[in-house]
């Protein structure tokens, strides 16, 4: 079996991504980050889901929160309700996906994994710059230049199976692959049991997915 590293938060998108990689025959190594996020309940969800999909799971402690500058890591800033405009919201965490992908790249090289999966989408998303296809293309180029494996064998691939899917399409894909979305935590301010607020960007986009797919929303709300 070929190894793959999956960036895995325990939310709707990354869980779909994990199920997708598994369905493609990869031995999955899921990597989660404890970065001082206020919704750290997602890590408990991630543990359970990784076990469910028989994935190797690694939680990396990284002190992004020390840097500040985001409502996701600074409890002095409020998480805003969903607006749906085209501005980048205060929940944006500076350089988050670049930091996450960098660790994934290092781990992939050690594991001799040629594939990294990340569940970003540029359809129903919060406008974060590091979720867009041009960003991923730039990281792909960087990855081949950055590493011994990349330079010597040119093999590393950043896979983004959800990039062009709406949230409804993602949900349908995940259900076809056996995902139980009731286990996943997407909310930016989930309580310690993983129950969701229902009003933040992440909750709003997730709800929209189930609505548009005409499916019951299994999310436990506060």
Binding-site ranges for a copy of itself (CB under 8 A): 58, 60-64, 66-69, 88, 92-99, 101-103, 105-107, 109-110, 129-130, 132, 134-135, 138-139, 141-142, 145-148, 150-152
CB of 104 to a copy of itself, least distance (A): 9
- Quote the least distance from Cβ 160 to a copy of itself, whole Å: 14
Closest distance of CB 132 from a copy of itself, Å: 7
The position carrying tokens 């543990």 is 47
- Which H or E element spans position 111? helix 96-111
What CA–CA distance (Å, rounded) separates 46 from 167?
A: 20
* 214 half-sphere exposure, CB direction, 13 A CA radius: 0
- In contact, 120 and 162? CB cutoff 8 Å: yes
CB of 153 to a copy of itself, least distance (A): 12
Residue whose CB is less far from a copy of itself, 15 or 32: 32
Q: For the purposes of burial, counting CB atoms within 10 Å of the CB of 32, is it exposed (0-12), middle (13-18) or buried (19 or more)?
A: buried
Q: Which is nearer to a copy of itself, 151 or 222 (CB)?
A: 151
Closer residue to a copy of itself in complex, CB, 82/107: 107
Roughly how many angstroms between the first and final C-alpha of the chain, as a whole number?
Answer: 41
């Amino acid at each position: 079996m070929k190894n793959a590293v999956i960036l895995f938060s325990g939310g709707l998108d990354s869980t779909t991504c994990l199920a997708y990689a598994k369905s493609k025959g990869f031995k999955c190594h899921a990597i989660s980050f404890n970065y001082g996020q206020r919704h750290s309940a997602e890590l408990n969800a991630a543990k359970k889901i990784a076990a469910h999909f028989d994935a190797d799971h690694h939680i990396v402690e990284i002190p992004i929160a020390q840097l500040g500058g985001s409502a996701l890591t600074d409890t002095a800033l409020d998480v805003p309700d969903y607006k749906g405009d085209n501005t980048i919201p205060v929940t944006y965490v500076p350089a988050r996906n670049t930091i996450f992908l960098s660790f994934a790249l290092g781990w992939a090289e050690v594991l001799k994994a040629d594939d990294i999966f990340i569940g970003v989408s540029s359809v129903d998303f919060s406008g974060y710059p590091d979720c867009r296809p041009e960003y991923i293309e730039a990281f792909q180029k960087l990855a081949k230049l950055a590493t011994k494996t990349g330079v010597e064998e040119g093999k590393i691939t950043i896979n983004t199976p959800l990039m062009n899917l709406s949230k409804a399409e993602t949900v349908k894909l995940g259900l076809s692959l056996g995902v139980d979305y009731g286990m996943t935590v997407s909310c930016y301010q989930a309580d310690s049991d993983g129950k969701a607020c229902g009003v933040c960007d992440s909750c709003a986009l997730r709800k929209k997915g189930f609505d548009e797919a005409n499916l019951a929303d299994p999310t436990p709300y506060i």
